[in-house]
Amino acid sequence: MTYKQPVSTLIVIHTPDLQVLLLERADFPGSWQSVTGSREGNESLLQTAIREVGEETGFDAVHFGIGDWQLQNRYEIYAKWRHRYPPGTTHNLEHVFGLCLPEAYVPTLAPREHLAYVWLPWQQAADKVFSASNAAAIRMLPQRAAVAVG
């Protein structure tokens, strides 16, 4: 078995008017999140983020300009998913990125990973996600977007 690295990316995909894309997990129905995924091999965090956006949505993050928020979250991995990591691994280090699309495009979902998608205003999106670090990142979006524009 190939274990996942306990290093991941979280990508908050949004529109200029701060609509946020959320995906419903296939392995945890009813649980919504932004695009996330673990680093593979020796890829950079940016490469991980770009790959995960492509795999989970079909969007080309390079085309739209993905940004590293220079923010890291260390959190405890849910017990039900720890078997995916090397034995004894209990925590993950998540790196946050943002991706602004010109409008709310329809993603191409990976059916084994996600059941559905929804675009929501950032406040509603922050309330809907199951992950505290994901909610915190979405709540930073108005400030992050203002800095990117200004």
Per-residue pLDDT, 50 = 98
pTM, 2 dp: 0.94
For residue 106, the Cα-to-chain-centroid distance in whole angstroms is 16
Per-residue pLDDT, 150 = 47
pLDDT at 70 over 80: yes
Per-residue pLDDT, 148 = 61
Per-residue pLDDT, 145 = 83
pLDDT at 149 over 60: no
The alpha carbon torsion through 104, 108, 114, 117 (nearest 10 deg) reads: 20
Q: CA 107, CA 125: separation in Å to the nearest integer?
A: 17
What's the whole-number average pLDDT of the chain? 95
